[in-house]
Structure 1
Amino acid sequence: MSLSSLTPRETARRRLLDALRREGPMARVEIGHQLSMSPASVSELTANLMEEGVLLADDAGDASPGLFRGRPKVRLFFSETLGSVIGVWMGFNRIELRLVDSAGRNRASRHVERPLRNLGAEEVMDMLAEVITAFARETGAPDVKAIGLACQGYVDTKDGVVAWSPVLGIRDVPLAAGLGTRLGLPVLMENDASAMAFAIAQRDPSLRAGRTACLMIGDGVGLGFLIQGELYRGARFGGSEFGHVRLRRSGPQCRCGGRGCIEAFLADYALHRDAQLIDHRPAPSILLPGEAAMSAIVDQARAGDPALLNLFREAGEVLGDAVGILIQTLEPDHVVICGPGTRAMDLLRPSFEAALETQTIPELRAMSTIHVVESSMDLLTEGVVMQALRELDLELARLKAA
């Protein structure tokens, strides 16, 4: 998303649209406060955007005594008729899709099972294009403007390349270009943990202040890091592969090929693998266990199974070590623990808190607030949908030729 080609006036329009996208419907005076713009500038910009059909007004807001003398605020919001975007999450042999209109309203969603691991690069792109096209056709998606794609692993967001992913058997896949050519649409790519972090921060304004580290646990372990609400990018414009930081050289096998990674202790597949060894439960039909299989392990541990309680105790210690590393290397204002793995947070919490207190410098620990956000995989498609909507807003910010 490049702002360098915008004129000063287009940049002001872009900032205004971004504020509405981030905060939701706002009155003109609230927009002015958010952006430090004069009332005259806000009025002129919003009047033009309303004339173009980009923004609509609703006077059903709360009355505001004093400044508005009891009259309801007139709140501005996006029109829903400016096109739509599709968010896609690509996991192990499964794809999640979400259709959202230009006002940000969810219109449809789908879960699709598809084999991915043994496909070549062209086959992966053909299959994704087929699934997205079918979804758009079945849902009657109006005027799709962009695709947002979230994927596990190391994603180069600048060039749109999946450098490595545990869900694919191939490397350096130019997904954005290949999928964009097949669909005739811009494709924005994101690491799935970064996508979830972005979505969570959009829901909670307090997490958009300062530095926020979101540690996602579930199918794998990922990290999304935000500074003032914007995702931090590395040298290749990708996110962090924090889940593959090695804790113990002789630890359990990880999907990345190494041993002793944080993920190899905490991810769903790691917990299910160890539970299998404990009580000989049936192996999942695919590498990754489903929600039902993981819930069964959690329920059995809550019922008092000593071996499974010990499994979660050790996983909690690893989680404490991982969060301690985050605090002592990044000094975040907020640490968010999120993802489907939070289903077992009550079992992880005692050993997590004990490990965090003993392994972290107290002065640094006191600087970070720990949040646990119970979250599903829906946040992954929500995060990339929001990024795709911002791309749509960039085009809406451009002044139309006279």
Structure 2
Amino acid sequence: MTLLPLSPRETARRRLLDALRREGPMARVEIGQHLGMSPASVSELTASLLDDGILVTEDTGDQSSGLIRGRPKVRLFFADSLGSVIGVWTGFNRIELRLVDSAGRNRASRHIERPLRSLGAGELMDVLTETITTFAKDTGAADVKAIGLACQGYVDTRDGIVAWSPVLGTRDLPLAAGLSERLGKPVLIENDASAMAFAIAQRNPDFRSGRTACLMVGDGVGMGFLIQGELYRGARFGGSEFGHVRLRRSGPQCRCGGRGCIEAYLADYALHRDAQLIDHRPAPTLLLPGEEAMNGIVEQARAGDPALLNLFHEAGEVLGDAVSILIQTLEPDHIVICGPGTRAMDLLRPSFEAALESQTIPELRALAAVHVVKSSLDLLTEGVVMQALRELDLDLARLKAA
């Protein structure tokens, strides 16, 4: 069934709900200032949303906002009884899950080690269906409304297809439709770097203005690009595969099949592979190392191992080259370096900064602020959960027939 476009009043409700979802609880006067609405319009809209049970009030007791003396500041936020959303991230042989209520509060999370790459399309969907269903049952998830799924690789968000992923063994996988049919719920899918970028912007208002490029370094290297806080999409509604930009034709092997990609120098698997081959260390036995293995390499380098220090020096140069490319092609206001790979930023920073300064046009370099944000895998599920909640808010914005 094709949904009718929103009416002007429904559009206003949608804007208000989106502001609360983005900014968190706000008082009516704050909502009016944020959206440029008159007090009368805000009062009318919030009254209807309160009557519908979509919003609830919170008395903060804050009398410092310039309101009438003795009258506390009343903030509005989402009710937590409108259902729940489950966020999922598929990594290399692992699955992360998160359950949130309709107010966006985290209710439960789970980490599962499970081989995925060897599975065919049907097997993979069955495994994910079983995992999500069991998680919902074990956590007592109330009225699950939707599933948000973050996945590495090239993801067509419009058609719900994972065209290619280094952690899955199937190409052109109609993952959203397959899971939706099995679960009986809407399924939204997203590239994991875009999901992390969206979550980071949710936490930091500065990254929701202008253009922000989030370079995620960890299992792989990906990028999410935001314009005014909204994810930028390509022609096929996918994100950026920036990690597979080739820097050196004769460089190391990348998981995509090419050589010399940015990822082949910076990703955990690349650093782990090269570290194991240094000084006659044992050959790599794992395609992707765990956090314990990566922390071991980092600590050994910090202790002064010259070969490992050189490895991180080269990785820092590549990171500087990559950020230079971003600055000179996209001219972002902010560049955020995030992901588990920031664990070694102290080792990467000297050569990173030297490469960035030497390879970037000074006038352009001065325009971009570079931030390093320590971040963990929970941001991946947080990002898709927030997007799924925003999609549900679209339905909440519609006026119910009398």
With structure 2 as the length reference, what TM-score do the two structures score? Answer: 0.98
CA deviation string 1:174-209 (max 9, x = no partner): 000000000000000100000000000000000000
CA deviation string 1:77-115 (max 9, x = no partner): 111110000000001111000000001100000111111
Q: Take 1:283 and 1:23, find their aligned partners in 2: how far apart are those partners?
A: 49
1:64/1:71 contact within 8 Å kept: no
CA deviation string 1:44-99 (max 9, x = no partner): 11011111111111111522353433532100011111000000000111100000
Q: Take 1:346 and 1:324, find their aligned partners in 2: how far apart are those partners?
A: 19
**2:255 maps to which residue?**
255
Question: What is the number of residues matched between the two proteins?
Answer: 401
CA deviation string 1:10-49 (max 9, x = no partner): 1110100000000000000000011111111100110111
Aligned residue identity for 1:211: R
Among the aligned pairs, what percent are the same residue?
Answer: 84
**2:335 maps to which residue?**
335
Aligned residue identity for 1:10: E
1:3/1:11 contact within 8 Å kept: no
**1:79 maps to which residue?**
79
**2:121 maps to which residue?**
121
Q: Take 2:361 and 2:3, find their aligned partners in 1: how far apart are those partners?
A: 41
Aligned residue identity for 1:47: A
Alignment map for 1:293-332 (pairs within 5 Å): 293-332=293-332
Matched, 1:278 2:278: yes
Report SS of the residue matched to 2:77: strand
**2:219 maps to which residue?**
219
Moved more, 391-400 or 243-252: 391-400
Which runs of 5 or more structure 1 residues have no equivalent in the other structure? none
Q: Take 1:50 and 1:241, find their aligned partners in 2: how far apart are those partners?
A: 43
Q: Take 2:142 and 2:61, find their aligned partners in 1: how far apart are those partners?
A: 29
Report SS of the residue matched to 2:373: strand
Aligned residue identity for 1:335: I
Aligned residue identity for 2:401: A
Alignment map for 1:48-87 (pairs within 5 Å): 48-69=48-69, 71-87=71-87
2:65/2:73 contact within 8 Å kept: no
**2:163 maps to which residue?**
163
Q: Take 1:94 and 1:352, find their aligned partners in 2: how far apart are those partners?
A: 31
Report SS of the residue matched to 1:336: strand
2:53/2:79 contact within 8 Å kept: yes
Aligned residue identity for 1:311: L
Q: Take 2:369 and 2:81, find their aligned partners in 1: how far apart are those partners?
A: 40
CA RMSD of aligned residues (A): 1.3
Distance 1:283 1:13, change over 3 A: farther
Distance 1:65 1:135, change over 3 A: closer
1:64/1:70 contact within 8 Å kept: no
Alignment map for 1:239-250 (pairs within 5 Å): 239-250=239-250
Q: Take 2:283 and 2:387, find their aligned partners in 1: how far apart are those partners?
A: 37
Distance 1:289 1:69, change over 3 A: same
1:195/1:383 contact within 8 Å kept: yes
Q: Take 2:41 and 2:280, find their aligned partners in 1: how far apart are those partners?
A: 68
Q: Take 1:3 and 1:200, find their aligned partners in 2: how far apart are those partners?
A: 31
Which runs of 5 or more structure 2 residues have no equivalent in the other structure? none
Distance 1:65 1:126, change over 3 A: closer
Alpha-carbon distance, 1:6 to partner:
1.0
With structure 1 as the length reference, what TM-score do the two structures score? Answer: 0.98
Q: Take 1:236 and 1:264, find their aligned partners in 2: how far apart are those partners?
A: 25
